[in-house]
Amino acid sequence: TMYSGNQTSENQTSSTYFILMGLFDQTKYAAFLYTLIFVLFLMALTGNALLILLIHREPCLHTPMYFFISQLSLIDLMYICATVPKMLMDQVTGDYTISHLGCGVQMFSYLTLAGAEVFLLSAMAYDRYAAICRPLYYPLLMNQKVCHLFMSGCWFLGMFDGLLLTVMTMSLPFCQFRKIMSFFCEAPALLKLSCSNTPLYEMFMYLCCILMLLAPIIIVSGSYVLILRLIHSINSAEGRRKAFATCSSHMVVVLLFFGAGIYTNMLPRSYHTGEQDMTVSAFYTIITPVLNPLIYSLRNKDVTGALRNLMLSG
């Protein structure tokens, strides 16, 4: 069972190791649930890789919007690979330990990718605003150079946040009790294992998360308020439908990702338990990368057309 595996790992481990509790600790349906996670993992890999391939090879998809969607797929692909393979291997081998260095690398990876995705979603919202509200200036506002600058900014801010929080978290002194109540090394779960007094660090981390989420939320909200106001002023029903269709997929993705991020990082700790945190973490690390390519492909005629062309040429 998973429990005995954890016990063995705990006996073998030294002070330089942590023990990951896994996602379905002591659940009798663990084997079935982990198989389901493996299927979802394969779906996320296939869906995101296929979307990147379609956007790369189809000339009609060489636009700023699809450039950002391909980058989102790349981030999602890396995001799920940073956490799920380790969790599945732990379940197969029965060894739930992770080294101090491995824990730091995993934390840096997921924080960098989550940060980059947050800022990318705001860049995508601005892109939709420019396309719908400033169509005449759109080629100037969102040329190739601007798109690459936006993307560089997303990666830089993500890496800065990842490096800052990882160095601070991993330099804390940890007690002998080293069971991480999560399926990967995430900062809130590690904080609970620290021997030192952490309120000051927790406050700093909370402020970091608020700043990381607040600026993108303002950009996204502002963009969509202006878009919806313009859509409301369009007289023809067809015009309104077309304008709304161009940003509806992105709105769904934003609500999913930001909703999970706000719940985990901005709600006070007393409002949610460790188990609830783990469920939400699973949602945005496993489910979101599976849903994103589906949302962008099923709701998009250009992408489904490109997929049809790929299948016919194959």
pLDDT tens-digit readout, 255-289 = 777 776 666 665 655 555 666 667 777 777 888 88
pLDDT at 94: 84
> Tokens 């919806």 appear where?
228
- The CATH superfamily label for domain 27-301 reads Rhodopsin 7-helix transmembrane proteins (1.20.1070.10)
Res 144: pLDDT: 92
Residues 123, 253 contacting (CB under 8 angstroms): no
Compute, in degrees rounded to 10, the torsion defined by CA atoms 231, 232, 236, 239.
10
Residue 70: pLDDT band by 50, 70, 90 thresholds? Answer: very high
Contacts of 262-266 with C-beta under 8 Å, sequence gap 24+, read 262/213, 264/188, 265/206, 265/209, 265/210, 265/213, 266/206, 266/209, 266/210, 266/213
For the chain, what are the domain ranges?
Answer: 27-301
Residues 123, 157: contact at Cβ < 8 Å? Answer: no
- pTM of the entire predicted model: 0.84
% of the chain residues with pLDDT over 90: 28
Least confident window among 50-64, 72-86, 293-307 = 293-307
The pLDDT confidence band at residue 7, using thresholds 50, 70 and 90, is very low
Average of per-residue pLDDT across 50-67: 89
Q: Where are the extended beta strands (E) located within 226-293? A: none
Task: Please check whether residue 266 is in contact with residue 273, taking contact to mean a CB–CB distance below 8 angstroms.
Answer: no
Is beta strand 179-180 parallel, antiparallel or unpaired with respect to 97-99? unpaired
